[in-house]
Amino acid sequence: MSLAAALLVGSLSLAACAEDADTGSEPTGTSGGNEPTEETPAPMVGLAFDVGGEGDQSFNDSAVAGLQQAIDEFGIESQKVSPNDDGSNRAELLAQLAEQGFNPVIAVGFAYDEVIAGVAAEFPDTTFGQIDGSNAVFDGTSKGPNHTGLLFAEEQGSFLAGVAAALKTETDRIGFVGGVEIGLIQKFEAGYVAGAEAVNPDITVDVQYISPAGDFSGFGDPARGKIVAQGMYDGGADIVYHAAGGSGGGVFEAAAESEALAIGVDSDQYNTVGDPALQAVIMTS
């Protein structure tokens, strides 16, 4: 397995295929689990988290799993950084990693779109990878030859989640909780609804987002996630699928208290939640 593949393996849950990833060449230095030597120093990989950071039991932790696999197999050196609450230091974090010699630098999440092209231009000898980021900025301009966008077909995995929910529901009413109402999360919603309706055209799918576009707090607020999901369960839904990052923990809590079911995202959340009471309500991830 290449170093790039090892770094990305954790982020492929619910992703049927990658649309924009460059596999690149095999890494120089160590391979196959061999320890680095003086002649082949360890690769240095920097990882910049999305909102919620490490420990979200979802999107960011998938990236951590990939990084850990790269550490185990290739003996790499690594550094992990998290943005501040409003994300205003994203560019600073990427530049900091590049200045310290980390290469590649992996940015987790589309929220780096506004800054990563500028940082990539400032450090042309550093390779930047961006999960959920295309190779172009909003006006279609390239982010640079040293930037690789890593996009996934979220709607395809979500379609299967919708099929599973429609086959399992006993009320013909299910729900979807999105973290932030943006195009990326709407892809999860669209696939889920399409999959459910493919099984039962008359099924009711309740849809609600925790926060509007531009407010990324919806990815890190389990309390609000619980409130939104609880409303769906109280309204008759018996299965709720979330694409809400760290807020998904609240969806699981609502499912447990309602004696209903939930579907996780980004990771096998049955294994990441660690609470038997919550594991019991996770139908799949």
Sheet arrangement for strand 44-48: 77-81, 44-48, 105-108, 128-131, 147-150
- Give dist(CA 111, CA 219) in Å, integer: 12
Report the pLDDT value the prediction gives residue 1, as an integer from 0 to 100: 42
Same domain assignment for residues 162 and 27: no
Beta strands at 282-284 and 147-150: parallel, antiparallel or unpaired: unpaired
What are residue 105's DSSP bridge partners? Answer: 46, 128
Report the pLDDT value the prediction gives residue 37, as an integer from 0 to 100: 56
- Give dist(CA 256, CA 23) in Å, integer: 41
Which tens digit of pLDDT belongs to each residue from 34-84? Answer: 555 566 778 899 999 987 788 877 778 889 989 999 999 989 999 999 998
Q: Among 127, 150, 173, identify where a domain stops.
A: 150
Same domain assignment for residues 79 and 91: yes
Domain membership of residue 47 as a residue range: 3-150
Same domain assignment for residues 72 and 191: no
- Give dist(CA 117, CA 146) in Å, integer: 9
Report the pLDDT value the prediction gives residue 207, as an integer from 0 to 100: 98
Q: Residue 164: which H helix or E strand, with range?
A: helix 154-168
Maximum Cα–Cα distance across the chain: 65
Q: Residue 52 belongs to a domain with what CATH number?
A: 3.40.50.2300
Report the pLDDT value the prediction gives residue 5, as an integer from 0 to 100: 43
- Report whether 48 contacts 106 (CB < 8 A): yes
Same domain assignment for residues 171 and 276: yes
- Give dist(CA 109, CA 22) in Å, integer: 17
Report the pLDDT value the prediction gives residue 261, as an integer from 0 to 100: 98
CA torsion sign, 115 to 120 to 126 to 129? positive
Q: How many domains does the chain have?
A: 2
Q: At what angle are helices 154-168 and 183-199 packed, to 10 degrees?
A: 40
Report the pLDDT value the prediction gives residue 11, as an integer from 0 to 100: 38
Report the pLDDT value the prediction gives residue 284, as an integer from 0 to 100: 86
Same domain assignment for residues 113 and 32: yes
Q: Contacts by 248-251 with C-beta closer than 8 Å and gap 24+?
A: 248/57, 248/58, 248/177, 248/222, 249/57, 249/222, 249/225, 249/273, 249/278, 250/221, 250/222, 250/223, 250/224, 250/225, 250/226, 251/177, 251/225, 251/226
Cα–Cα nearest to 244, from 281, 205, 215, 270: 215
**Local confidence pLDDT in tens for the 285 residues of the chain:** 444 444 443 433 333 333 333 333 333 333 344 555 566 778 899 999 987 788 877 778 889 989 999 999 989 999 999 998 888 999 999 999 999 999 999 999 888 998 999 999 999 999 999 998 889 887 888 999 999 999 889 999 999 999 999 999 999 999 999 999 999 999 999 999 999 999 999 999 999 999 999 898 999 899 999 999 999 999 999 999 999 988 999 999 999 999 999 999 987 888 878 889 999 999 987
Report the pLDDT value the prediction gives residue 62, as an integer from 0 to 100: 85
Whether the bond between 145 and the residue before it is cis, its omega within 30 degrees of 0, is no
- Report whether 186 contacts 178 (CB < 8 A): yes
Same domain assignment for residues 145 and 17: yes
How does 6-21 read in b/e, with b if 16+ C-beta sit within 10 Å?
A: bbbbbbbbbbeebeeb
- Give dist(CA 122, CA 179) in Å, integer: 32
Q: Hey, how many other C-beta atoms are within 10 angstroms of the C-beta on 23?
A: 11
Report the pLDDT value the prediction gives residue 38, as an integer from 0 to 100: 60
Report the pLDDT value the prediction gives residue 50, as an integer from 0 to 100: 86
Same domain assignment for residues 161 and 139: no
Same domain assignment for residues 168 and 187: yes
